[in-house]
A = this chain, B = another copy of it.
Amino acid sequence: MLQGKILVAQGGGPTAVINQSVVGVVQEAKKLAGVTNVYGALHGVSGILKEDFLDLSLESNANLEAVAATPCAALGSTRDKPDTAYCKEIFKVLKAHKIGTFYYIGGNDSSDALHTLGEEARKAKYALNCIHIPKTIDNDLMINDHTPGYPSAAKFVASAFAGVNQDNAALPGVYVGVVMGRHAGFLTAASAAARRFETDGPHLIYCPERTFDMDAFTADVKEIYNRIGRCVVAVSEGIHDSEGAPIVTKLAKEVEKDAHGNVQLSGTGALADLLTGQIKQKSDIKRVRGDTFGYLQRSFLGCVSDVDASEARAVGEKAVLFANAGNRKGTVTIHRVGKYAVEYRLSPLEAVAGKTKVMADEFINEAGNDVTGRFMRYVKPLLGTGGLPPVARFDPANTVGKVLAKKKAPAKKKALAKKKKQARS
């Protein structure tokens, strides 16, 4: 049975539904007689050090629900990864505030941080329940069928590509859209859900699970362009060469690295500019444009999958229920059952901490430039009960017969007949 004060915090990159999980913890904990307060730490573990807590038990129900529907981490987030000394400071604060249960909502870095905290607590003989609640738009947590945050980001990416596909059809050329994803291509792959009609883009999709070859890329683009007169491309920010070096480093001499030694991929348009530059150089295609979807993918207001929202709420609630049932640590995981339903389990922290799941081979086509039908069956239920807004076109069957061209037709027919004859010979 959960007792006394419990604490919840958010870590890593925000998502459109991460606040649902906080509110899930608060609402479920409020049902338990033994829980006196639910504290929220501001900016993840860094807020614990500073004793920056809000008492979320004092929030009105209406405001809790309004925050739940607001994108991005309402408690603030952090990229801090605690070491032994950091953990000791955390214990001092938790002890001072009499907190024995900590819910940390985050991705694999956050689960790793929680794992470290749990181990240090054990060594220090500090009684601490550590429950990790999953979220990441990258969808790269092990064991999980998918992670809260991914479906809404996938809906954003699919909606963006459905739109730019229309735009590219109206003003034909080549369009390259760069999507978030350092190691896992799930989000880039979701762009395929934008397609409705046969010639709809994205026509090419490149994920970081496969080596990116610049020559193959430009050849692919030219082939599509020559065939249908336009080409829409979805590319992961994390695409890399055969030695694992990010393609974006081919352009920039100086690249920014974060605390984990990762090259900065988001917050710059360099990769899109590099790729469109290559197409311009290696073809005579005139209209070549590139966009980097950037932070809008995880924060845009009003683009939420209802499936995602309810699952993000559920993992918060389940985290409380698992701890209340006597579990001391673990991570809540999502498992798909039947055609599309999910069940939630508590899995060992070690199974997800610091590990990265990437796309299964069967989700990417052999040429490495598209997704498969299996991926489509995987991703479609996640986009929400309504799916994407509809896309329609005028019926091409209603084409009006040419009047002037008809008059000129004999000459054209002759030329065509001549061409056919030559082809046969």
Q: Which residues of B contact A398 (CB under 8 A)?
A: 54-56, 58-59
Nearest neighbor of A12 in chain B, beta-carbon distance: B171
Q: Known interface pairs A291-B295, A301-B389. Does A405 touch B51 (Cβ–Cβ under 8 Å)?
A: yes
Nearest neighbor of A393 in chain B, beta-carbon distance: B74
Copies in the complex: 2
The proximity string for A residues 385-425 relative to B, scoring 1 for CB distances below 8 Å and 0 otherwise, is 00011111111101110111100000000000000000000
**Does the CB pair B164–A295 fall under 8 Å?**
yes
Binds B, one of A264-272, A352-360, A369-377: A264-272
**Does the CB pair A14–B170 fall under 8 Å?**
yes
In the assembled complex, the CB of A300 is this many whole angstroms from the nearest CB of chain B, namely 5
Contact of A299 among B55, B63, B164, B292 (CB under 8 A): B164
Q: Which residues of B contact A393 (CB under 8 A)?
A: 67, 70, 74
**Does the CB pair B268–A290 fall under 8 Å?**
yes
Binds B, one of A91-99, A181-189, A330-338: A91-99
Q: Is A126 an interface residue (CB 8 A)?
A: no
In the assembled complex, the CB of A195 is this many whole angstroms from the nearest CB of chain B, namely 12
Contact of A404 among B92, B164, B290 (CB under 8 A): B92
Contact of A298 among B74, B167, B396 (CB under 8 A): B167
Q: Is A192 an interface residue (CB 8 A)?
A: no
C-alpha gap A393/B54 in the complex (Å): 12
Q: Which residues of B contact A39 (CB under 8 A)?
A: 400
Q: Which residues of B contact A92 (CB under 8 A)?
A: 404
Q: Is A289 an interface residue (CB 8 A)?
A: yes
C-alpha gap A72/B171 in the complex (Å): 10
Nearest neighbor of A269 in chain B, beta-carbon distance: B269
Q: Is A160 an interface residue (CB 8 A)?
A: yes
Q: Known interface pairs A71-B166, A96-B403, A170-B77. Does A388 touch B54 (Cβ–Cβ under 8 Å)?
A: no
In the assembled complex, the CB of A321 is this many whole angstroms from the nearest CB of chain B, namely 23
C-alpha gap A266/B287 in the complex (Å): 11
Q: Is A296 an interface residue (CB 8 A)?
A: yes
Q: Is A100 an interface residue (CB 8 A)?
A: no
**Does the CB pair A166–B269 fall under 8 Å?**
no
Q: Which residues of B contact A160 (CB under 8 A)?
A: 296, 300-301
Within 8 A of B (CB), among A154-198: 159-160, 162-164, 166-167, 169-171, 175, 194
C-alpha gap A224/B202 in the complex (Å): 40
Q: Which residues of B contact A390 (CB under 8 A)?
A: 66, 69-70
Contact of A290 among B166, B269, B300 (CB under 8 A): B269
C-alpha gap A406/B314 in the complex (Å): 37
Q: Is A293 an interface residue (CB 8 A)?
A: yes
Q: Which residues of B contact A163 (CB under 8 A)?
A: 71-72, 295-296, 299-301
Q: Is A276 an interface residue (CB 8 A)?
A: yes
C-alpha gap A270/B269 in the complex (Å): 7
C-alpha gap A282/B349 in the complex (Å): 43
Nearest neighbor of A56 in chain B, beta-carbon distance: B394
Contact of A289 among B58, B63, B267 (CB under 8 A): B267
Q: Which residues of B contact A40 (CB under 8 A)?
A: 394
**Does the CB pair B79–A171 fall under 8 Å?**
yes
Nearest neighbor of A167 in chain B, beta-carbon distance: B299
Within 8 A of B (CB), among A243-285: 266-270, 272-273, 276
C-alpha gap A179/B176 in the complex (Å): 18
Q: Can you list 11 A-B contacts (CB < 8 A)?
A: A54-B400, A63-B395, A70-B166, A74-B393, A75-B394, A97-B400, A163-B296, A167-B299, A175-B295, A268-B272, A293-B296
Told that A75-B170, A290-B294 touch, could you supply 8 new A-B pairs with CB distance under 8 A? A55-B399, A69-B392, A79-B171, A269-B270, A270-B273, A273-B273, A301-B388, A302-B389
